[in-house]
Amino acid sequence: MNNRQRVRLGFHLYLNYFVHGMAIVILAQNMVPLGQQWNVSVSRVAMVISSLGIGRLIVLYFSGLLSDKFGRKIFVQLGIWTYIPFFIGIILSPNVYVAYFFGILAGMANSFLDSGTYPALMELFPHRAASANVFIKAFISAGELLLPIMVTVVEQNKIWYGINFIIAAVILFINFFFISKLKFPDRAIDSVKVEATKSHKLNFLQKINAVTLTIYGYVSMSTFYLVSQWLTKYGQEVLKMNLASARYLVSVYSIGSLTGVVLLTILTSRRIKSVSVMLVSTVISLLALLAMTFVLDQNVIFISSFVIGMSAAGGVMQIGLVIMSELFPSKKGTVTGIYYTAGAISSFTIPLITGYLYQFGVQSIMIFDCLIALIGVVCGSIIYANRFQLKSLE
């Protein structure tokens, strides 16, 4: 493939994740109208969000495994065709049970996209795998940034809330036809790395790294997922901000995420070790969360929202995947499935936990997020301490 073909395919793969970024926050940003449509409380709408995690859990590991066997393109296409019914189905759902089904479809769609896209990008840009995967986060953050603005415009102009769901579905529909015409890269594998993993069983420390990185997949997802879903409510109920200002916090968080993508891309392209970037980012996330939770000031929450977006949602989760892929270079799809299965468990369990914690106040949710981030620091420290075992496979 020439460079033009690589860039073109890369753009259309990334565009799917722009829509995915919209999907991440679209339920949380429309809790009130959805609650009215389904005749349920906000906490019940939050429970529907957990259905995305169930969908991811159902298929993610197996789709990653099959991606190594049948190729990446089919799973990217399958992801698009599974995501479209979610956007249409949610706005047509008469009750929370039907909505839960379509939420499961969205989780499955996300899994299909992940199992096809992440390995494809590592094969499309083999010498810039970390940067290529981190850049996915830029498009996710762009979607998260734009969606609250779209919701606000729709509300202010008294337009039906479902129009944003339809826009997302149309983008995916058009993108499917572009992707269908493009050729995907061959699944080229570095034979030296494969021989290294075949001729030497993973030692104890390498096994510890693999387990720790899987846990990190859960923790890193949880850290920013909690913020993206509850930041608006936190601003309203704890800081007594009006709805527009509270929603703006999500946009500030998304701007921070985009900034983080740029920084991580620069750092990884300059050969700064991924394990160092992962640890420093996780520590900064914890500090920002502590400030947001215990320093109840509007200026602090705006700054913390930006910093958390930059450090926790700026691509550090993707960095963890690249590090884990170094342990199993011939099984990128399978590794993606395992790593993001941990993230799927997060997207299933976190809404259930936060739905319960919400009855004690939204600040209790942020305290819980601080504990999650602390576990992330422990995981990052373990990986950093064992970095020389990882280096042997680089």
Among 101-105, 215-219, 221-225, which stretch is predicted with the lowest mean pLDDT? Answer: 221-225
Burial string for 92-110 (b: 16+ CB within 10 Å, else e) reads ebeebeebbbbbbbbbbbb
pTM above 0.85, yes or no: no
End-to-end CA distance of the chain: give it in Å, rounded.
Answer: 25
Nearest Cα neighbor of 346 from 53, 24, 124 is 53
Provide the CATH number for the domain around residue 116. Answer: 1.20.1250.20
pLDDT of res. 192: 44
d(CA 233, CA 235): 5
Burial string for 222-242 (b: 16+ CB within 10 Å, else e) reads bbbbbbbbbbbbbbbebbebe
- List, for residues 29-74, the tens digit of each pLDDT value: 898 899 999 988 877 887 888 788 788 888 888 888 888 888 899 9
pLDDT of res. 20: 94
d(CA 226, CA 365): 8
Domain count across the chain: 1
Take residue 390 and report the two structure tokens written for it: 């990882």
Mean pLDDT (the chain) is: 86
348: confidence class by pLDDT, cuts 50, 70, 90: confident
Among 37-46, 181-190, 224-233, which stretch is predicted with the lowest mean pLDDT? Answer: 181-190
What mean pLDDT do residues 140-166 have? 90
- What percentage of the chain has pLDDT greater than the value 70? 94
Rg (CA), the chain: 20
Instruction: Please state, in angstroms and as integers, the Cα–Cα distance from residue 298 to each residue in 92, 234, 287, 305, 335, following that order.
Output: 37, 11, 17, 10, 41
Take residue 38 and report the two structure tokens written for it: 């389904």
Range of the structural domain that residue 167 is part of: 3-391
pLDDT for residue 127 is more than 50:
yes
Eight-class DSSP state of 183 = P
What mean pLDDT do residues 243-249 have? 85
391: confidence class by pLDDT, cuts 50, 70, 90: low
Contacts of 236 (CB under 8 A, 6+ apart): 242, 243, 246
Nearest Cα neighbor of 209 from 319, 323, 115, 285 is 323
pLDDT for residue 380 is more than 80:
yes
pLDDT for residue 250 is more than 50:
yes
pLDDT for residue 341 is more than 90:
no
What mean pLDDT do residues 200-207 have? 69
pLDDT for residue 270 is more than 90:
no
